[in-house]
A and B are shown apart, each in its own frame.
Chain A
Amino acid sequence: MPKVDSLQGSLDLLVLKILSRRPRLHGYAIMTAIQSMSGEVLRAEEGSLYPALHRMEEAGWIRAEWITTEAGRRARLYEITKAGRKQLDVEESRWRAVTSAVNRVLRMA
């Protein structure tokens, strides 16, 4: 099965959800989390992941912080904010509405 890159507007949702479960991840970890948690089905390209992260950061849904890892490298860790959690609720219910609607269409057709 080919890997799906175009997450069809659900990237924000996934990132927020992952960050709400596991605080303080860097970009690469978020990318691999999406990949592994979706059973290698979904894959976020770097080209869309980082703009999305930066956009959400500017929107105040997530915040970032530079730290130095044990390996002595600097990394930028993301974490969800209060506004982000609210946004997550909105996105989740919208996703549910959309998928249930799509399912209904599939059943009927």
Chain B
Amino acid sequence: MSIWSRVANVFRGGRTGREIDEEFAAHIQEAIDAGRDPEEARRAFGSLLRQRESSLDIRVLGWLDSLRADVVFGWRLLWNAKATSAVSILSLGLAIGSCMSAFRIIDALLLRPLPIRQPERLYAIFRKGIGPDGKPRTTPSSEYPLYRQMRAAVENQADLIAISYAARRDLTYSSDEETEKAYIQYVSGSMFDRFGVRPALGRVLTENDDRKPGAHPVAVLSYDYWARRFGKDPNMLRRRFRMVAVEYEVIGVADRTFTGTEPGTITEIFLPTMMNEAVNQPNSAWFRTFVQLKPGVSATQVRDGLSPVFHAYQEEMAKGFKGWPKERLQQLLSNQLVVEPAAAGVSGLQKEYGVALAALGVLVTLILLIACANLANLMMAQASARAREMALRVAIGAGRWRLIQLMLAESGLIAFSGAALGVVFAWWSAPLVVSMINPSDHPMRLVLPADLRVLGFAAALAVGVTILFGLGPAVRASAVKPVSALKGGSGPRSRRRTMHVLIAAQVAFCFLVLFDTGLFTATFDRLSNQPTGFAADGVINVITGARPPQSKLLWQQVAQQLRSLPRVEAVALAGFPPLSGSMEGGFVAVNGGQPAGALVRFSSVSPSWFDTMKIPMVSGRDFGESDASPGVAIVNQSFANAYFNGESPIGRSFETNRDHGMRCRIVGLVRDSCYEDVRGPIPPVVYLPFRSVDANGQIRTTGGAAFVLRISGSNPLALAPALRREITRAGPGFLVSRIVRQTELVEQQTIRERLLAMLASFFAIVALLLAGIGLYGVLDYSLLQRRRELGIRIAIGAPARDIVRRATVDGLAMVLAGAVIGLALALFSMRYIESLVYEVKATDPASLIFPALILFAATLLASVPAAIGAVRIDPVEMLRAE
């Protein structure tokens, strides 16, 4: 109680003191009333002032009171220098805000433990090795029959939980005409119980829902989905939706905090793994395996238990792999199982954006350091202006700690104002950045809570920043020697030296930011101007499903009907559009030899697809109406180079392990075009006719394909409603899932690069601005310090050139030194951001000259005022003033 009232008294202003005075006055009055002589009563009371002080000491918390006084004093100083303070707080707010924004996203995507019971015990299984394309690969995918064996193998050490990739699927709550999309995840029935996730409504899945394939078509919604899609409808239970051919019943809504195990995606519907059609397929890897360790068991123990099962399974499977090159099979078998912590969940976005976000985190930290260096210099300059005030304080008995506290109070005011501003900035900017990671079919949705974790980070940042820019100048200012300071001659030289070192550091950081920004923008530029091999403008893909699967003949008839629509120049069919994320692979053998080479890409396309995409034929012919697979194939140049040494492949044949081994005769050769990625060399691709027949000569059916249309004029998407109508009318069971421009698919290849380039450019401008302001400030301060010296030089006839040189040369030398250090840092940073850049080298002259030039220009601009100021010194006036 005592401490609180003493704390409270600190903030009661002068009231406490006044009350004491009043009490004393009342006392004396009582004495007089009691008949004592007024003079005598007052004298008996003693010194009012001293009594009040001793009472005040008792009633007020001393150190807090002095801190309050310091804060109030600091606030007055800041208020008096409004412009400087505003710039300081704004720049610090921007820097802290950027840091917090980066922290919020990094935390939400990579660090924050899932809101489940004991997340630290959650691990995930990965396979590490060489992928079928010959590149190193780590994948969490697993097959269900293997999962069953693994679960049994470690039964006593850990619980295994299967959770499929969150996938956006078409489903409907009413009729097929009103399909909508939702993120679904197939999960083990035991998951909710193991994770300690309770239902918000109804019940959650249990192990009983997950015992027999296809037996329990039940679904649990996520809270977010329930709230957004259904407005928290309390009558949600027992509602039904249909996905593919199965009708599911909603049995409950999961707890509000649980949004799945894939940060970056909010799962909307949870289904039992037994409802997945691939649950008994030995070769289909469609989910991640999570491991919940039992108490006292280590991840290594579990891995040792799982590995033999895994390797045995792999070898069993490999026996069935026909037509695989030996070395690929060998690589597959040498895959290792690893068990890694997964407290923060596992998602593809973590992998894709982890390094990029870390790079951004470093950039914003550099910005913060630059801002701190600026403030430290400002504090130091102000401290020198206040040297006399400090000396006076020391002279009347202020201790050293008291002076440091005085200075730190001011720094803390700036830092906490900046942090408050930063919180607001991060509040706004973090969701904005997340919304920029927006592939149209899979926009990132990240839970960004503003909780104690985030606010704690802000507070820690503010305290850290205060110490970073405030402590040095405070300690230095507190070391003032009253005698020399009051005499007016203290040595500002060492102070200037520190300032110059800070300038060099700023320039180095700034160079690094500029350099990395240059690399990111160049990467984005290269990638977005990468030739794709086709003309994407005007092409739209209508990704369509058919339930039940329809004959490919019927698909082709629907395509014919679309041709009659206005503005449609060409129509074709493809299994899937290029750059849509889908891939089909297989191995190829030529000349009756062994299968060899890397994974070959396959694509099934109808006649005139190449025309529609404007992929030029090099030689041979396009597919005709009568062509069907198996039998003929068209290959790209990369294929011809890899398998026929660049000779014409027309008329030659090859075998592939696809479709249980088939032989194809090559009828055409086309130019290379992008398949699944715009980066890197274009892989060998085999195009097969869209129409295919089975062993009995029957035309096959398919449940999904893409109509590819070339539309004349602008805004091809205006045709979308007509296309939907036409396709739905054309045949029963045809359903348009998604209409997407080919240009959009191309642009989505570079979302990460665009994000990096944009944010880095923004930070580069901020860094340049801050460093420029910093340099200007220091030069200006040096000029102020050296006015007397320069005035005398002018008076004795030094030429203007000499004066300008003297006023700026120290600063410029620091810039140069900083740039050299920055260059070293930049080359060093290269090794960490290598995975983020494409066809850009750190040693490219352009990568180095560009930031150097910008920095040089900024330096010139910042030193002009100091140079002009130096030349304009009027020696007469200056010397008289001294």
B33 to chain A: closest residue by CB: A71
0/1 string, B3-27, CB within 8 A of A gives 1:
0011000000000000110111011
A44 to B569, CA, bound (A): 109
A26 to B2, CA, bound (A): 21
Stretch from A11-19, A52-60, A89-97 at the B interface: A52-60
Instruction: Say which residue of A29, A51, A60, A71 sits within 8 Å of B55 (CB atoms).
Output: A51
| Cβ of B457 under 8 Å from chain A | no
A55 to B29, CA, bound (A): 23
CB of B58 within 8 A of CB of A46, answer no
Chain B proximity of A28: nearest CB distance (Å):
4
| Cβ of B1 under 8 Å from chain A | yes
A75 to B44, CA, bound (A): 20
Chain B proximity of A35: nearest CB distance (Å):
11
CB of A26 within 8 A of CB of B26, answer yes
A73 to B27, CA, bound (A): 11
| Cβ of B413 under 8 Å from chain A | no
Task: Known contacts A26-B30, A54-B59, A58-B5; decide if A47 and B46 are in contact (CB<8 Å).
Answer: yes
0/1 string, A72-101, CB within 8 A of B gives 1:
011110000000000000000000000000
Given the complex, which residues of A lie within 8 Å of B59, measured CB to CB? 54, 57-58
With most chain B CB atoms within 10 A of its CB, the pick from A28, A55, A74, A76 is: A28
A55 to B26, CA, bound (A): 19
Instruction: Say which residue of A32, A45, A47, A76 sits within 8 Å of B23 (CB atoms).
Output: A76
A71 to B32, CA, bound (A): 14
A66 to B45, CA, bound (A): 21
CB of A47 within 8 A of CB of B30, answer no
A75 to B26, CA, bound (A): 6
In this complex, the interface size class of chain B, counting residues with CB under 8 Å from chain A, is 20 to 34
Task: Known contacts A46-B45, A60-B2, A74-B22; decide if A54 and B29 are in contact (CB<8 Å).
Answer: no
Segment 12-68 of B: residues with Cβ below 8 Å from A: 19-20, 22-24, 26-27, 29-31, 33-34, 44-46, 51, 54-55, 58-59
Chain A proximity of B749: nearest CB distance (Å):
70
CB of A28 within 8 A of CB of B27, answer yes
A78 to B26, CA, bound (A): 14
Given the complex, which residues of A lie within 8 Å of B23, measured CB to CB? 27, 50, 76
A57 to B2, CA, bound (A): 8
Instruction: Say which residue of B27, B33, B55 sits within 8 Å of A54 (CB atoms).
Output: B55
A47 to chain B: closest residue by CB: B46
Instruction: Say which residue of B2, B20, B46 sits within 8 Å of A46 (CB atoms).
Output: B46
Chain A proximity of B49: nearest CB distance (Å):
12
A28 to chain B: closest residue by CB: B30
Task: Known contacts A60-B1, A60-B2; decide if A46 and B44 are in contact (CB<8 Å).
Answer: yes
With most chain A CB atoms within 10 A of its CB, the pick from B6, B24, B26, B55 is: B26
Given the complex, which residues of B lie within 8 Å of A54, measured CB to CB? 20, 55, 58-59
Task: Known contacts A28-B30, A47-B51; decide if A55 and B46 are in contact (CB<8 Å).
Answer: no
Given the complex, which residues of A lie within 8 Å of B45, measured CB to CB? 46-47
CB of B51 within 8 A of CB of A32, answer no
Chain B proximity of A55: nearest CB distance (Å):
5
Given the complex, which residues of B lie within 8 Å of A66, measured CB to CB? 19
A69 to chain B: closest residue by CB: B26
B50 to chain A: closest residue by CB: A47
B22 to chain A: closest residue by CB: A74
Given the complex, which residues of A lie within 8 Å of B30, measured CB to CB? 26, 28-29, 75
Task: Known contacts A28-B30, A28-B31, A50-B23; decide if A59 and B2 are in contact (CB<8 Å).
Answer: yes
A46 to B6, CA, bound (A): 22
Task: Known contacts A28-B30, A46-B46, A46-B51; decide if A55 and B22 are in contact (CB<8 Å).
Answer: no
Task: Known contacts A60-B1, A60-B2; decide if A51 and B58 are in contact (CB<8 Å).
Answer: yes
CB of B44 within 8 A of CB of A50, answer no
CB of B2 within 8 A of CB of A74, answer no
CB of A32 within 8 A of CB of B58, answer no
Chain B proximity of A13: nearest CB distance (Å):
18
A59 to B51, CA, bound (A): 19
Given the complex, which residues of A lie within 8 Å of B1, measured CB to CB? 60
Given the complex, which residues of B lie within 8 Å of A45, measured CB to CB? 46
CB of B22 within 8 A of CB of A50, answer no
Segment 103-133 of B: residues with Cβ below 8 Å from A: none
CB of A50 within 8 A of CB of B51, answer yes
A27 to B22, CA, bound (A): 12
CB of B24 within 8 A of CB of A50, answer yes
A55 to B59, CA, bound (A): 7
Given the complex, which residues of A lie within 8 Å of B24, measured CB to CB? 46, 50
A45 to B41, CA, bound (A): 12
0/1 string, B231-259, CB within 8 A of A gives 1:
00000000000000000000000000000
Given contacts A47-B46, A50-B55, A73-B29, could you give 16 more A-B pairs where the C-beta distance is less than 8 Å? Answer: A26-B27, A26-B30, A27-B23, A27-B26, A28-B31, A45-B46, A46-B44, A46-B46, A50-B23, A50-B24, A54-B20, A54-B59, A58-B2, A60-B1, A75-B30, A76-B19
Of the A-B pairs whose beta carbons lie under 8 Å apart in the complex, a sample of 26, sorted by A's number, is A26-B30, A27-B23, A27-B27, A28-B26, A28-B27, A28-B30, A28-B31, A46-B44, A46-B46, A46-B51, A47-B46, A50-B24, A50-B51, A50-B55, A54-B20, A54-B55, A55-B58, A58-B2, A58-B6, A59-B2, A60-B1, A66-B19, A74-B26, A75-B26, A76-B22, A76-B23
- Chain B residues engaging chain A, CB cutoff 8 angstroms: 1-2, 5-6, 19-20, 22-24, 26-27, 29-31, 33-34, 44-46, 51, 54-55, 58-59
Closest 5 CB pairs of A and B: A28-B30, A54-B58, A60-B1, A76-B23, A58-B2
